[in-house]
Amino acid sequence: MVSRLLGSRRGAHSRGGATEGRRLSAGRPPEYLRAARTVRQRGRDWRPGLGHRGPIGRYVVLTVVAVVVVFGAVQWLRPLPSVSLQAPRTVSLRLPGAAPSLPWPTTGAAALIEVGVGSLGSSGATSALPIASMAKVLTAYVVLEDHPMAPGSQGPAIAVTPAVVSAYQTGVATQQSELQVTAGESLTELQALEGLLIASGNDMAVLLADWD
């Protein structure tokens, strides 16, 4: 029917404006114009929109919009949640067996504590005493203040004196931490510092202090 109506319209145009004028002058719209008006009217009647949903539909839509707006405002304006930190839980394990027998020095004082295990024992006096390794660090600091070395440098040579050899021999006899030396040899400043700070040699402290 639409094709027929459109075809009639095309035919009317193709025959010129005189025929169209005669139809309109009769005071009655042509058939295809009435059909087109009917189609447009039906389109307006069935067009989906808020006004055609009825009062209940409008209330539902407005309620949903209001809930979305309120929820967004609350999420945007709410304060940040507080953060709480909890320390990790530790598990204690007890291993069977006897404590190790350590070769404690016969002089001085010593103690050994293992992380996660606890104390492994001590020897000598338990009163507060100077820490020997701290004295070695201070000795290295003073030597480097008085005799600084450029990066990559070995520093000057230091002769091993009889006093240093004697200190070495005494330390070995009393189970002290020593770096083996012989009379007549020489060590660079870097080698002496390495023997002092890495090997913890007491005789290296004597060597550097006397040289400084």
Across the chain, mean pLDDT equals 79
Minimum mean pLDDT range among 13-17, 43-47, 49-53, 181-185:
13-17
Give Cα 97 distance to the centre of its chain: 41
Beta bridge partners of 186: 159
Minimum mean pLDDT range among 24-38, 54-68, 129-143:
24-38
Sign of the C-alpha dihedral, residues 44, 50, 53, 55? negative
The residues near 207 (Cβ < 8 Å, ≥ 6 apart) are 158, 160, 161, 164, 181, 187, 192
- C-alpha to C-alpha distance for 156 and 174, rounded to whole angstroms: 31
Beta bridge partners of 110: 123
Residue written as token pair 């040579």: 157
Residues in the chain: 212
| pLDDT confidence band for 14 (50 / 70 / 90) | very low
| DSSP letter (8 states) at residue 79 | P
- C-alpha to C-alpha distance for 80 and 118, rounded to whole angstroms: 43
3-class SS of residue 180:
coil
Average pLDDT rounded to a whole number, residues 17-27: 48
| pLDDT confidence band for 43 (50 / 70 / 90) | low
Q: What is the pTM of this model?
A: 0.43
- C-alpha to C-alpha distance for 156 and 196, rounded to whole angstroms: 16
